[in-house]
């Protein structure tokens, strides 16, 4: 189907109904008149767009999700707007292009030839504003004459309906300007102009008489209707606890058989749910009016009587109003029935809060553009593979060889299997129960919900399997292949490969085994007090808020002593993806980990491979020669163990949160601060080079905290490059300014709060039928945590900043309760049982400080360790408690 919609915004439901009734597979739209920020969604269809940045124009292609296709990059054109996809048929592939030429633009033959040259078989559908008597127009225009001459010279076919497709207002004559240009396309039906939809253009419909390639149906299991008794019986009947596990091969076979058994039991006891194409079907009375409107449209186009046009316009206006009322009533019913305990509540919040990333944005890599899913997946795989080896040249060859030799010698040693701390069915069952149901499974496709329902016999089978792997220090190859999905970093351009973070989807069974290893690993770490106290990341009882509170309390303490504080924030580039495996194993030997654990971690890290999955395409597997898998259980703790002995200098403080590194020092003299920081940076740089860790100097910041106005004539240096002092820097999500008044941070949060309210306004507005309880829940779980993130750390900010945040809260409460502007703030907070911003920060800080007296980390016990009743010259974090 090809249709010039003359603005699609208010015609989506009518188009959806037509696509459903006429079983349209592909629809090319012209003059969508959308800007890039406006959404266009049709259930069951993928949409590819090329929008104008100015008013008018715009093209799109709508194609069923079940049809195999891929986006392509078209050559740049001067006279036409175009977007294209490649559709796969049984014996060929066809490039389909939706094309629009504005009437006032000069026709360019080169544009048409460029579009036709992108593939052997090409279909161009659209409104080219080209008139010629050869396709039943009343007259010719220059575009039509040029297009006809071009078709004779370059052997392509122009196909148009017999009757007009464009019916402008009287006295202008109808014409055929919506057309099909076909190159090497066999077996297609003659196009028809249909008196449907609401536009001055008729849609043009035709069929290609060749079956297209379909994607396999995604069969999901309906766990609500699962027969769990039958599921357990199948496993109990077929599982054999007397299988001998004596070597690596037998373990691999047992794992494979267990996975097959789980899938077989699920297939026989849980009914599948085949995903259906869902359409918002219009009510019968609206469908009837649309049919009447289409009849009047046909009469008008045939006879051109003004009375028909008047009736047609009135019907279109009525239908538009009825569809709008129907949409509003449907939305009201949905919102009023939302329950905060249901998944639909949080899905709705996420839909409004997090805009969906466009999936058809091309990737640009090495000055080349890639549009197809398969190309994107492969390019991202190549990019990630290069990241894993980017630090191989760091360090000296002699030192790297010495470390590798030590590790190789260690791995040849044997250990007594009695030294292994084996697992028990109780531990395995506890781990399985603690796993979330909704985590994505790995390549074996087994979700946690199936593992939670395996019988005790299955638990014992897994326990025997895990114990054998522990005693042999073996990690199966089947669990070393990870499926990588892409998560775009906030605020990053979607066309750059560096904007995406790789998340590894691993086998659910392997994650249970990882958890068992993690318990033994952390037991050794904590019992031997190995981790440095400055590391607050991925450790129980520690958080970003606590680290920030510690730093800010230390800085304000030195304000009282009339000292400046200089801080440098170091950025470790691709920290998790570049961990040197040999260096990590060497680090474990230095910390006297049990040999069976060292060999098990080595088996876990070596010979891993990943593949990138993007939409419907997957890349070739690539080796992972460095790094820890992001999304794994063991990855975070292995990383902080690897960077644990980062050097510390006298009089220079260190603050770590995973890969976020901050060093700071205090002094009355600026030159003393810069000298200390420069020396510390040099020491850390040498350490990082030795252990193949790269510091990104472009993202390294320096900030000087002071309440005075010193003459700054010295700067910190990194590799003889000056790091200029900045007025503010962001650390762990909080913007620190040079005077620690947090005005910049609070203003950022106020802006974010206003944006969140705008995004969630359909749920919060006075017209929304969502219950007040749900609106308040939305604020307390989504908006307030974002507004008051780490508020204990910046609680010393001034009252005017607190008031700015309070204004955002007041605005929300008025929206939630539909209260007028003159409603008292105290009344709003009392009726909604909501704390004021001041009281919330007060109680949060009080709770944090009360937990520090008996904290296991001595650095935490030193926070606010002073007489809080005294008056200090400069504000301290406890100022709000007075």
- 255-306: pLDDT as tens digits: 999 999 999 999 999 998 765 544 557 888 988 998 888 888 888 888 888 8
Query: DSSP string covering 69-101, please?
Result: EEE-PPPP-SS-EEEEEEEEBSS-EEEEEEEE-
Q: What is the pTM of this model?
A: 0.84
Q: CB under 8 Å, gap of 24 or more: what pairs does 372-376 form?
A: 372/70, 372/71, 372/72, 372/86, 372/617, 373/70, 373/71, 373/614, 373/615, 373/616, 373/617, 374/70, 374/617, 374/619, 376/614, 376/617
Peptide bond into 142 cis (omega under 30): no
Q: CB under 8 Å, gap of 24 or more: what pairs does 258-261 form?
A: 258/458, 258/461, 258/462, 258/465, 258/509, 259/444, 259/446, 259/509, 261/234, 261/235
- pLDDT for the residue 210: 84
Q: Which runs of consecutive H residues, i.e. helices, occur in 691-759?
A: 743-759
Segments of 161-271 assigned E as strands: 178-183, 192-193, 204-205, 219-221
Which pair of structure tokens corresponds to residue 366?
A: 């090495």
CA 672 to chain centre: 44
For residue 373, which of 383, 387, 386, 359 has the smallest C-alpha distance? 359
Name the percent of the chain lying above pLDDT 70: 96
- pLDDT for the residue 312: 85
Q: Residue 637: helix, strand or coil by DSSP?
A: helix
Residue 231: burial class (beta carbons within 10 Å; 0-12, 13-18, 19+): buried
Mean pLDDT over 687-709 rounds to 91
Question: How much helix, strand and coil, in percent to the nearest 5, is found in the chain?
Answer: 45, 15, 40
- pLDDT for the residue 309: 83
Q: What is the pLDDT of residues 824-858, one digit of tens each?
A: 999 999 999 999 999 999 999 999 988 888 889 99
Residue 870 or residue 809, greater confidence:
809
Q: What is the pLDDT of residues 479-532, one digit of tens each?
A: 999 999 998 888 788 889 989 988 889 999 999 999 999 999 999 999 999 999
- pLDDT for the residue 865: 79
Q: Which of 58-67, 337-346, 722-731, 733-742 shows the lowest mean pLDDT across its residues?
A: 337-346
Averaged pLDDT score across all residues of the chain: 89
Residue 718 has pLDDT above 90, yes or no: no
Which pair of structure tokens corresponds to residue 247?
A: 């070597």
Q: Report the alpha-carbon distance of residue 344 to residue 861 in Å, rounded.
A: 43
Mean pLDDT over 420-439 rounds to 93
Q: Report the alpha-carbon distance of residue 528 to residue 591 in Å, rounded.
A: 9
Q: Report the alpha-carbon distance of residue 429 to residue 426 in Å, rounded.
A: 5
Which pair of structure tokens corresponds to residue 196?
A: 């449907």
Residue 180 has pLDDT above 80, yes or no: yes
CB 790 within 8 A of CB 732: yes
Q: What is the pLDDT of residues 382-411, one digit of tens each?
A: 999 999 888 888 888 888 999 999 999 999
Q: Report the alpha-carbon distance of residue 463 to residue 453 in Å, rounded.
A: 16
- pLDDT for the residue 310: 86
pLDDT band at 168 (very low <50, low <70, confident <90, very high): confident
Q: Residue 374: helix, strand or coil by DSSP?
A: helix
pLDDT band at 877 (very low <50, low <70, confident <90, very high): confident
- pLDDT for the residue 612: 94
- pLDDT for the residue 41: 87
CB 692 within 8 A of CB 552: no
Q: Name the β-bridge partners of 94.
A: 87
- pLDDT for the residue 274: 62
Name the percent of the chain lying above pLDDT 90: 60
Mean pLDDT over 580-589 rounds to 95
């Amino acid at each position: 189907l090809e249709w010039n919609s003359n603005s699609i915004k208010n015609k989506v439901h009518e188009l959806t109904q037509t696509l459903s009734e006429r079983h349209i597979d592909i629809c090319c739209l012209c003059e969508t008149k959308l800007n890039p920020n406006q959404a266009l969604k049709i259930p069951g269809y993928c949409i590819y767009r090329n929008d104008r940045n100015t008013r008018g124009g715009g093209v799109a292609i709508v194609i069923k999700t079940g049809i195999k296709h891929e986006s392509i990059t078209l050559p740049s054109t001067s006279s036409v707007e175009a977007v294209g996809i490649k559709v796969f048929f049984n014996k060929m592939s066809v490039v389909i292009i939706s094309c629009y030429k504005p009437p006032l633009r000069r026709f360019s033959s080169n544009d048409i030839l460029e579009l036709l040259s992108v593939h052997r078989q090409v279909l161009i559908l659209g409104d080219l504003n080209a008139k010629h008597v050869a396709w039943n127009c009343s007259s010719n225009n220059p575009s039509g004459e040029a297009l006809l001459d071009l078709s004779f010279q370059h052997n392509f076919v122009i196909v148009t309906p017999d009757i007009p497709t464009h019916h402008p207002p009287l006295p202008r004559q109808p014409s055929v300007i919506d057309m099909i240009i076909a190159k090497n396309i066999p077996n297609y039906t003659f196009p028809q102009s249909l008196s449907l939809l609401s536009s001055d253009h008729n849609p043009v419909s035709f069929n290609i008489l060749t079956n297209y390639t379909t994607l396999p149906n995604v069969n999901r299991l309906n766990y609500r209707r699962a027969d769990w008794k039958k599921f357990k019986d199948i496993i109990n009947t077929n599982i054999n606890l007397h299988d001998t596990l004596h070597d690596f091969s037998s373990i691999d076979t047992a794992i494979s058989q267990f996975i097959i058994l789980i899938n077989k039991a699920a297939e026989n006891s849980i009914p599948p749910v085949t995903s259906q194409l869902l359409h918002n079907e219009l009510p019968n009375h609206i469908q009837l009016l649309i049919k009447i409107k289409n009849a009047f449209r046909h009469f008008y186009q045939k006879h051109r009587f003004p009375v028909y046009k008047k009736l047609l316009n009135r019907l279109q206006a009525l239908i538009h109003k009825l569809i709008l009322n129907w949409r509003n009533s449907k939305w009201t019913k949905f919102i009023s029935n939302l329950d905060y305990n249901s998944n639909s509540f949080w899905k709705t919040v996420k839909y409004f809060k997090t805009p969906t990333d466009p999936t058809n944005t091309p990737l640009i890599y090495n000055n080349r553009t890639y549009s197809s899913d398969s190309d994107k997946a492969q390019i991202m795989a190549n990019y990630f593979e290069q990241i894993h080896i980017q630090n191989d040249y760091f360090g000296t060859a002699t030192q790297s060889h010495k470390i590798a030799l030590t590790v190789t010698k260690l791995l040849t040693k044997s250990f007594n299997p009695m030294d292994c701390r084996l697992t028990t069915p109780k531990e395995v069952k506890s781990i399985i129960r603690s796993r979330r149901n909704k985590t994505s499974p790995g390549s074996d496709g087994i979700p946690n919900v199936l593992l939670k329902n395996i019988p005790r016999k299955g638990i014992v089978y897994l326990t025997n399997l895990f114990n054998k792997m522990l005693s042999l220090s073996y990690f199966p190859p089947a669990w070393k292949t990870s499926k990588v999905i892409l998560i775009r970093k906030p605020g990053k351009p979607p066309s750059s490969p560096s904007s995406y973070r790789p998340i590894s989807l691993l086998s659910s069974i392997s994650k249970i085994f990882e958890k068992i290893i993690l318990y033994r690993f952390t037991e050794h770490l904590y019992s031997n007090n190995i981790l440095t106290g400055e590391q607050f990341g991925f450790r129980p009882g520690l958080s970003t808020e606590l680290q920030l509170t510690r730093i800010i309390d230390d800085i304000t303490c030195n304000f009282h002593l009339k000292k400046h504080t200089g801080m440098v924030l170091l950025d470790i580039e691709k920290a998790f993806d570049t961990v040197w495996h040999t260096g990590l194993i060497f680090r474990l030997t230095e910390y006297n980990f049990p040999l069976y654990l060292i060999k098990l971690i080595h088996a876990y890290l070596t010979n891993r491979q990943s593949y990138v999955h993007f939409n419907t395409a997957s890349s070739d597997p690539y080796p992972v020669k460095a790094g820890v898998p992001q999304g794994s259980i063991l990855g975070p703790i292995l990383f902080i163990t690897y960077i644990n002995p980062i050097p510390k200098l006298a009089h220079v403080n260190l603050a770590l949160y995973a890969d976020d590194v901050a060093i700071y020092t205090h002094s009355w003299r600026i030159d003393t601060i810069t000298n200390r920081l420069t020396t510390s940076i040099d020491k850390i740089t040498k350490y990082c080079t030795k252990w193949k860790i790269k510091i990104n100097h472009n993202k390294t910041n320096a900030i000087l905290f002071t309440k005075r106005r010193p003459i700054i004539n010295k700067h910190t240096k990194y590799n003889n490059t000056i790091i200029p002092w900045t007025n503010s820097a962001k650390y762990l999500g909080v913007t620190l300014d040079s005077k620690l008044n947090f005005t910049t941070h609070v203003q950022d949060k106020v802006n974010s709060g206003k944006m969140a309210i705008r995004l969630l306004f359909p749920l919060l507005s006075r017209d929304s039928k969502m219950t007040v309880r749900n609106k308040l829940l939305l604020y307390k779980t989504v908006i307030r945590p974002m507004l008051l993130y780490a508020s204990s750390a910046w609680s010393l900010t001034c009252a005017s900043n607190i008031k700015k945040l309070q204004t955002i809260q007041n605005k929300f409460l008025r929206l939630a309760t539909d209260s007028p502007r003159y409603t008292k703030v105290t009344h709003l907070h009392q009726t909604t049982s909501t704390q004021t911003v001041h009281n919330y920060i007060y109680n949060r800080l009080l709770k944090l400080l009360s937990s520090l007296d008996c904290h296991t980390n001595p650095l935490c016990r030193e926070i606010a360790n002073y007489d809080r009743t005294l008056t200090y010259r400069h504000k301290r974090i406890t100022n709000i408690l007075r």
